[in-house]
C-alpha cells in the first residue's frame, strides 16, 4: 500500500493498493496553494482510506515536469513523510500518470501529455501507446516548449491541470509487482533557476 503525492500541476494525494486499487484520492486544482494544502490533503487521504501510516509500504513522489516552486513542495513533502515514517521513496514521472489514466480509460495509440509551465510555456511528454500491462510507453520527452512550438503536432494532445496521484501510485505498484525499474530521483524542472551566482564582492566607493 502506497501514499502518492503530486504537485507538478495542482495538488493531488492518494492512497493506493495493488489489489484494492485507488482507495482514496483528494485533489486541489489551484496551482498557487501547494504549500498551504499539502499537509491537509495528506491527512485527508489517509483518513478517508482508513489507513495508518505503519500500514504503508512506501511513498510515491511525482517528479514532474513542473514549475520549481510548486513541484518542490510535493517532493519535499513526500521525502519528509517517507523519512518520518521510515518508508522508501518511490519517484515517478508525473506525466506518466496522466498517460496511464488515458490508456486505462480506453485511449489507444500515441498521446502528447501537456501541462502548464507558466511563463507562456508548456511541459510535454510524448507516448507511443501502452504495453501489455497497460503502462504508458514514453516516446519522447519530457520537454519544455512554447505552445506553438510543441512537438508531435500529429499526435492527440491531452492538456491537464492536475496529475492524478491515484494513477501515479498505481504505476508504482505495477512496476514493483512486475520488477520494472522506477524513475530517477531527480526533479524535472527543465528550466534553469532564476537565481545566479554572485560574481564576487562589489567595490565600494566613497
DSSP strand pairing (111-118 vs 157-159): parallel
C-alpha cell belonging to residue 142 = 519530457
pLDDT band at 200 (very low <50, low <70, confident <90, very high): low
Q: What pTM did the predictor assign? A: 0.91
Give the three-state DSSP class for 45: helix
Residue identified by cell 498517460 is: 99
Kindly state the percentage of the chain with pLDDT values over 90. 89
The enclosing H or E element of 169 equals helix 165-177
Give helix 94-104 / helix 165-177 axis angle, nearest 10°.
Answer: 90
pLDDT band at 149 (very low <50, low <70, confident <90, very high): very high
pLDDT tens readout for residues 64-77: 999 999 999 999 99
Matching CATH number, 2-177, of 3.90.1150.10, 3.40.50.720, 3.30.420.40, 3.50.50.60: 3.30.420.40
Sequence spans of domains, the chain: 2-177
Cis peptide before 63 (omega within 30 of 0): no
Using CA of residue 109, residue 153, residue 143, residue 195, what is the dihedral sign?
negative
pLDDT band at 193 (very low <50, low <70, confident <90, very high): low
Amino acid at each position: 500500500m502506497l501514499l502518492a503525492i503530486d504537485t507538478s500541476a495542482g495538488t493531488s494525494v492518494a492512497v493506493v493498493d495493488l489489489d484494492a486499487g485507488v482507495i482514496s484520492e483528494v485533489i486541489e486544482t489551484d496551482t498557487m496553494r501547494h504549500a498551504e494544502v499539502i499537509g491537509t490533503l495528506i491527512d485527508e487521504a489517509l483518513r478517508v482510506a482508513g489507513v495508518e501510516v505503519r500500514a504503508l509500504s512506501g511513498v510515491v513522489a511525482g517528479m514532474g515536469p513542473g514549475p520549481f516552486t510548486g513541484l518542490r513542495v510535493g517532493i519535499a513533502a513526500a521525502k519528509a513523510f517517507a523519512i518520518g515514517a521510515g518508508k522508501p521513496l518511490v519517484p515517478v514521472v508525473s506525466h506518466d500518470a496522466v498517460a496511464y489514466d488515458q490508456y486505462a480509460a480506453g485511449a489507444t495509440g500515441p498521446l502528447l501529455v501537456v501541462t502548464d509551465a507558466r511563463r507562456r510555456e508548456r511541459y510535454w511528454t510524448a507516448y507511443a501507446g501502452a504495453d501489455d500491462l497497460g503502462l504508458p510507453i514514453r516516446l519522447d520527452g519530457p520537454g519544455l516548449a512554447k505552445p506553438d512550438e510543441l512537438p508531435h503536432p500529429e499526435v492527440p494532445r491531452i492538456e491537464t491541470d492536475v496529475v492524478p496521484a491515484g494513477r501515479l501510485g498505481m504505476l508504482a505498484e505495477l512496476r514493483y509487482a512486475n520488477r520494472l525499474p522506477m524513475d530517477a530521483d531527480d526533479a524535472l524542472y527543465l528550466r534553469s533557476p532564476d537565481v545566479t551566482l554572485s560574481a564576487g564582492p562589489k567595490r565600494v566607493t566613497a
